[in-house]
Amino acid sequence: MLAGATGVALAVGGAIATGRDEVYLGLTALAATAAVVYVALRVEPAWPISAGIALSIFSGHSDRLGFPIGPDRLLIAAGLLGVALEGLRDVEGRARRPPIRIETAHWLLFAALLWAVGSAWWAGTLTQSSGFFALLDRFGLMPFLVFLVAPVAFRTDHQRAILLATLIVTGAYLGLTALFEGVGLDALVFPQYILDPSVGLHAERVRGPFAQAVAMGLGLFLCGAAAAMGMARWRARPWVRAGCAVVAALCALGMLLTVTRAIWLGGLLAAVVVVWATPRLWRLVPAGAVMVGLLIAGALAFVPGLEANAKERSGDEAPVWVRQNTNRAALAIVLDRPLFGVGWERFTDRSPQWFHQDDDIPLTGAGEGVHNVFLANASELGLPGTFLWLAGAVLAIGGGLMRQVRRELWPWKVFLLAATTMIVVAGSVGPLPYAFPLLVLWTLAGVVGSTPQMGPSSRVTD
């Protein structure tokens, strides 16, 4: 950390002395590299990866917090480097950990990434910030890398507890932020760019540090699920369990306050799927239903304007028209250009020629992205690239859900099922360019799906 701080100070001093931004950027990059190496050498990888996932809630807005480089990216890079250095020490006989396993899912994801990079180069978006960062987050380079190292970085119960606790603390922040936004306590909202209507989307709704209501809802759901898992894990510690219960309640309330139908539908469907797949949870259904009912009734009664906003959103057909038009245009592109699509991150500027007036709905949505992640990839990458990406995801995530696991990993498998259901629902009705939920999903897939299995006596099913 000292190296990083010293480097930033030199960067600022150099920039002031020369008056050139290039000096600041260059020295900042050197400082960031020094900080990454220092953390990789000194800190257990589970810590920087978990912290990086948590700080990705500010992804895309780090500059508004004064960071020239997103700290989430530096921390995850430090964690990845730390895992690699552990492997080198293991070769020298000074560390004991399982090797990173390369399976079919990894090869498919790597092939899909190569296809996406080639598409971005062909479309001219590889060197554009929007195209490059979309490859990192929306397509999934960073989540894929975390998926690769997660079985090693989170191989022990202690390391997984670090990840779980980090998500719960993140949920406490997101839940409180949603509450403060919802009831109008603007002075307590941090950072303040959340309240700036010129930043992001959905300024009239609870949107948190993502500055986007759907991303906020996904973050609240994932952190709330982590808090529910914490209640089961730390049941012998009453105060910790009570804190987890408070965080879970705050996250559930925050999901309601986002006034986003995709989040409401996804949360409900995820709860039904998890309860249906986990018989041990059936006995909790009546109490859970009562608590959710009380939470909704209380929110409608005490949160100003929530009931009116909910009614307005439930009857708003404009977003539905946009989805229908963009999805129809994406399908038309797939039919016209099935092999290569229009190129990575090119749908918004190349798709208007595929928009056509429908007799029943207004012609809206031109210039917007596809509100379906599967159609978005198919229209931009073509069917071969989309098949590679989808096949890799099915093997990676579906493989974890289908595989029998050790007893201590069973709650993580349930967590993965909930996260997958929620994100698939959200991705079916909207784009998914959000770093935090995708990082959480792929980390869970790595923890569950690629963890070396024990013998039959240690496996459990439910």
CA nearest 409: which of 452, 348, 359, 457?
Answer: 452
| For the chain, domain boundaries | 43-316+375-460
Report the pLDDT value the prediction gives residue 17, as an integer from 0 to 100.
43
SS (H, E, C) the chain: CHHHHHHHHHHHHHHHHHCCHHHHHHHHHHHHHHHHHHHHHHCCCHHHHHHHHHHHHHCCCHHHHCCCCCHHHHHHHHHHHHHHHHHHHHHCCCCCCCCCCCCHHHHHHHHHHHHHHHHHHHHCCCCCHHHHHHHHHHHCHHHHHHHHHHHHHCCCHHHHHHHHHHHHHHHHHHHHHHHHHHHCCHHHCCCHHHHCCCCCCCCCCCCHHHCCHHHHHHHHHHHHHHHHHHHHHCCCCHHHHHHHHHHHHHHHHHHHHCCCHHHHHHHHHHHHHHHHHCHHHHHHHHHHHHHHHHHHHHHHHHCCCHHHHHHHHHCCCHHHHHHHHHHHHHHHHHHHCCCCCCCCCCHHHHHHHHCCCCCCCCCCCCCCCCCCHHHHHHHHHHHHHHHHHHHHHHHHHHHHHHCCEEHHHHHHHHHHHHHHHHHHHHHHHCCCCCHHHHHHHHHHHHHHHCCCCCCHHHEECC
Q: How far apart are CA 227 and CA 246, in angstroms?
A: 9
- 77 token code pair: 């890079």
Report the pLDDT value the prediction gives residue 450, as an integer from 0 to 100.
56
Residue with tokens 């369990």: 241
Report the pLDDT value the prediction gives residue 2, as an integer from 0 to 100.
41
Residue with tokens 């978005």: 376
Report the pLDDT value the prediction gives residue 294, as an integer from 0 to 100.
87
pLDDT tens per residue across all 462 residues of the chain: 444 444 444 444 444 344 445 655 666 778 788 888 889 989 999 999 999 999 999 999 999 998 888 899 999 999 999 999 887 765 555 556 778 889 999 999 999 999 999 999 999 999 999 999 999 999 999 999 999 999 999 999 999 999 999 999 999 999 999 999 999 999 999 999 999 999 998 988 999 999 999 999 999 999 999 999 999 999 889 999 999 999 999 999 999 999 999 999 999 999 999 999 988 888 888 888 888 888 888 888 888 888 788 877 777 788 888 889 999 999 999 999 999 999 999 999 999 999 987 777 888 888 888 989 999 999 999 999 999 999 999 999 999 999 888 889 999 999 999 999 999 999 998 888 899 999 999 999 999 975 444 433 333 344
C-alpha dist (Å) from residue 336 to 83, 111, 119, 124, 389: 44, 24, 17, 21, 21
Contact call for residues 389 and 373 (beta carbons, < 8 A): no
